[in-house]
A = this chain, B = another copy of it.
Amino acid sequence: MHPLERFLERLQLRSEISSRSRKALLSVEVSFETCPARWDIVRAGQKVESACLVATGLVGRAEQFADGTRRTAAYYVAGDMCDLHSVAISVAGWYIAALTDCEICKVPHKYLLTLFERFPDLSIAFWRDTIADASVSAKWVTLLSGAPARQRLAHLLCEYGVRVQAAGMGTLNSFPFPLTQAQIAEIIGTTSVHVSRVMKQLSLDGILHQRRGAIEVEDLASLERVAEFDRQYLLFRRDPSQLE
């Protein structure tokens, strides 16, 4: 599937889009890039003129502290547009980094802005997806602000399951999960050592198992209870599992 089609599907999970607008979006000219894991797709301070649409793989938006450590503020799966921010401010304040090997589809800002002028429904759809992105960040603010590591990890796995399912990969009970424990740690605000211990505990509790780059959830209800997970904040209009 073309990345723009996948992106359009993602938008349509949250917004109604007219067929004229759909056609206009799909006819945008884009360019492709292939990046190995750990590659910095965009570096802080860099001037940016295209938004990055994730075609395959996993991408993170990270900040680097004075001591050199990085913290991942958000992650993006296939079909997500990962730096809409850049349309508003052309100098990046963030690193956009490949968390795994991935293919990126670059969408020039000028085309996006033209679309917004001509198709109000697209404009609102993009805005709504930006709100969803903000909603996810806000959810993580509350999680990182108060919840213990066990809940944060459980929540990451619940959220990731839903998002990956919406991207058409896997189910809530079994999905690919290529992140290393160090990368998980950068997302949920702890260390790889602690991720290891917490993951083991979830495993001992019979809630899930991690095998060869995949997660097998054995007790989804318990996982969601531990996480206090409620998918509403993802702002999907309907259950992504209803799609195919």
Chain A interface (Cβ within 8 Å of chain B)?
Answer: 14, 61-63, 65-66, 69, 71-74, 84-85, 87-89, 91, 93-94, 113, 116-117, 120, 123-124, 126-128, 130-135, 137-142, 144-147, 186-189, 228, 230, 232-233, 235
Contacts and interface: CB of A to CB of B under 8 A. Distances in A.
B127 A73 contact: no
Nearest to A126: B127
A interface majority secondary structure: helix
Q: Which of A72, A120, A146 has the most CB of B within 10 A?
A: A146
B189 A145 contact: yes
A141 B88 contact: no
Copies of this chain present in the complex amount to 2
Q: Which 10 A-B pairs have the closest CB atoms?
A: A145-B189, A134-B134, A137-B137, A144-B144, A71-B142, A73-B138, A63-B142, A88-B128, A88-B131, A73-B141
Nearest to A135: B85
A75 to B, nearest CB: 11
Contacts of A65: 142, 146-147, 228
15 contacts: A14-B88, A61-B138, A63-B139, A63-B142, A65-B147, A69-B146, A72-B145, A73-B139, A73-B142, A84-B131, A85-B134, A123-B124, A126-B127, A134-B137, A145-B188
B85 A189 contact: no
Contact of A88 (B69, B93, B142, B235): B235
